[in-house]
Amino acid sequence: MKRFDQINMIPFIDVMLVLMAVVMTTASFVKIGLIDVNLPVAQQVDSPASQDNYIEIGINDKNEFFYNGEKTTLDDLEGRLQTADKRTPIQMRVDKAAVFDAFIGVITTLKHHQFDNISIETLSDRP
């Protein structure tokens, strides 16, 4: 019988190529959103009532925009945000029947003006 002085690497390489194909396939499904993900529900609801100075932005079920309770448009909202301090907390109140595109428009505007302290008001799932 012949003695083996070296490790045969071919089976190891085969296994690694199969694993690499699995990882790459799974990663592409995650990236394009084909894998269903259940997002967490808010257990704790914080209210900005304790803060003295914050901006409240709202979107109702008719996709109308509100800035601190005053009806406005997305363009007017952008103009108001240009003069606001970037460190001011933003509280968003969005009706669940509102079109997602309206919400994305506001978020894009906030990020464009470099607002990072953004919170979205939700209802608690606790009785």
pLDDT at residue number 16: 94
Which residues contact residue 84 at a Cβ distance below 8 angstroms, ignoring those fewer than 6 apart?
55, 113, 115
pLDDT of 47 > 80? The answer is no
- Range 48-120 classified under CATH 3.90.950.20: no
Q: How many CB atoms lie within 10 A of CB 102?
A: 18
What are the pLDDT digits (tens) for 93-125? 888 778 889 889 999 999 999 998 888 876 656
Q: What mean pLDDT value characterizes the chain?
A: 79
Q: What's phi and psi for 72, nearest 5 deg? A: -150, 180
